[in-house]
Chains A and B, each alone.
Chain A
């Protein structure tokens, strides 16, 4: 995220953090007639002409090629029957909304939808809660411990997905897994050869652990970065008023970092909802299709079962659902935009 506000060359005496003071944008009355020449503040006026377009062109073009084009193809595909036969013979069979009506009338599809939504909600709640907690902790720690904690967070964040899934698979392995060993050592019975991937639910719980573990660093480090912008005097003031830690958080930290919480939550919703590699690599959506989330369902229908049309329809419906959720976010943003 860019931190500077763009553009204006007028010196804005108070930029952050309390925006309330800056609400009236009238420049301070000049005390004397032109005594000092105002030095340009780092930035000149925006370049005009073709240059800005040239600069954004590569990004836009690559977006169009890598996202927009596949998206359009995907929409087209979702109105076709494209099974193995059509795939090989390159026939185009238009079926209108058949894929959609078939899906929307399929109880399996709705099971997967509910599962994905619940799974995302639990994940995001945990990630936000734990991430915020660790972020607060980072802010309070001494230099050395903070370094150690940030480093370990960075390592978790930097771990490649499939590698981390493999590690988790082994942790929960039926025969050699450390999880079974721990349970046995703690004196629980029935963990001789406990199969952690026996049901879709327990498989999803393990995936949840992995996703939370992998996503918490992002929230925690961002939270810490955000906290550094909250002036210490605010805490001091809160302390003077005798506010508890809980109260301080809700009265000082939360309002100050509201936009941080909002964007991180929505980013996490998107990430978790579309998490594919973790879910698929853990148990291929099994057992008995019990841990399939929407992206995995689309993959198995498409690549596994050769029903590419149906798979395209699933992914379009997934996008529609995300857009529905995200529209709240966009509305909030636009509303704020108007207020300012």
Chain B
């Protein structure tokens, strides 16, 4: 009966294999950089939708002309799961030399020591000309860890035909906004007056800022979550009111399903809240499906007509990995790409849909364009709490998203907020 013993050993082996799927951190993967013969490769990680291909090619051509024997390799990354990827990359011996980092996440990487200190390069990078609102997320404890690249914020994208049919014009205040949504619903009960999934937390952040409050507040030298505050509850209530005009899932964010390419092109959506690249993506997807998009854009309305609603000023910074094998080259590339000349071209290439890091490079947006609406509200742009621990808050499962879903499903905003704050407190003070 040896076979039983063999089977038993097999069973034991299978059990152990659990450990294998636990957590094996695969460090020191060979990136295959720096090939022989003095030729060097500079690896640049950019996010999908950040850099127009033609612009990127031009930057690299100019750079390679200046540095014979150096090749620039651009690798496009997607936002989903990017924190895991960047963390792993920064721990390697041959990380990408230049990385695009989300502005809410930069401090989280700076504190780990994974990013090169750029404080000494302020002059070459053009620090003084940078947009002041965009600089904050690049600094930590007085040191500079990255260069701002671009910023963008969300606006309301609407279907002109649907608005016209319902007799609605772009609103200036929240009250007008809701009024319009009511009319849209009445004019076409089958379609959604606004598509707003339950976990679009950047939108909620704007509403909380409108209340004069924030997602987390500093208490002494510690941070604590602020979702149990009455201001957060008020903001969430307004979100809930907006969401009542949408049949979007309450437990999903705007990226699952991707609202711009998977939802809007299918039709039946009179308006939605999105970024420039999302609007572009929707237009392309509709073109492919044989439809024509007829979009108008307006800033998210504020409480009063004199000031548009607060928006999250999303954006990206460009950083250099501390372990980069080609730090000096990387700095030069950074100075070139994020410098005024190429930023001017960048703003033009994106037609103003992304704000460049300096006002001098600003592109004058066309009338009625996404960029125009965005520029109007960027004055009320804000960023998430600037502390290294904030990146931890955003990791999945994101407590803010869970909070939103709970409240939308009818749970008490204060109770749900307290549960979320507990998680935020745990994470935000961690480095």
Contact = CB atoms under 8 A, between A and B. Distances in A.
Nearest to A288: B402
Contacts of A322: 15, 18
A336 B22 contact: no
Nearest to B249: A174
Contact of A70 (B8, B24, B395): B24
A88 B87 contact: yes
A320 B15 CA distance: 10
A303 interface: yes
A333 B5 contact: yes
B21 interface: yes
Interface in A180-194: 193
Given A305-B392, A306-B87, A326-B12, A70 B3 contact: no
B387 interface: no
Interface string A53-96: 00000000001001110110110010000111101111000000
Interface stretch (B37-45, B111-119, B286-294, B298-306): B111-119
A248 interface: no
B18 A318 contact: yes
A312 B4 CA distance: 31
Interface string B395-411: 11100001001100100
A289 B397 contact: yes
* Interface of chain A: mostly helix, strand, loop or mixed: helix
B251 A197 contact: yes
Nearest to A325: B15
A287 interface: yes
Interface residues of A, number: 67
Contacts, number: 163
Interface string A239-271: 000000000000000000001000100110011
Contact of B22 (A302, A305, A340): A302
A337 interface: yes
A68 B1 CA distance: 27
Query: How big is the B interface, by class?
Result: 35 or more
A284 B397 contact: yes
B430 A83 contact: yes
B9 to A, nearest CB: 10
B251 A330 contact: no
Interface string B208-251: 00000000000000000000000000000000000000010111
A195 B405 CA distance: 12
A82 B88 CA distance: 13
Interface in B1-45: 1-8, 11-25, 27
A28 interface: no
A155 interface: no
B247 A74 contact: no
Contacts of A90: 27, 91
A309 B4 CA distance: 36
Contacts of A329: 8, 11
Contact of A288 (B22, B247, B405): B405
B248 to A, nearest CB: 9
Contact of A88 (B12, B24, B91, B251): B91
A214 interface: no
A135 interface: no
B265 interface: no
B23 A195 contact: no
Interface stretch (A1-9, A118-126, A141-149): A1-9
Contacts of B88: 87
Interface in B176-223: none
B7 A302 contact: no
Contact of A270 (B15, B84, B430): B15
6 contacts: A270-B11, A285-B397, A315-B19, A318-B22, A322-B15, A333-B5
Give the top 5 A-B pairs by smallest Cβ distance, nearest first: A315-B22, A88-B114, A302-B23, A88-B112, A71-B19
Interface of B: 1-8, 11-25, 27, 83-84, 87-88, 90-91, 108-109, 111-114, 247, 249-251, 392, 395-397, 402, 405-406, 409, 427, 430-431
Given A6-B2, A85-B431, A306-B87, 13 more contacts: A5-B2, A67-B17, A74-B24, A88-B114, A89-B112, A193-B247, A267-B11, A270-B15, A288-B406, A300-B397, A305-B427, A326-B11, A326-B12
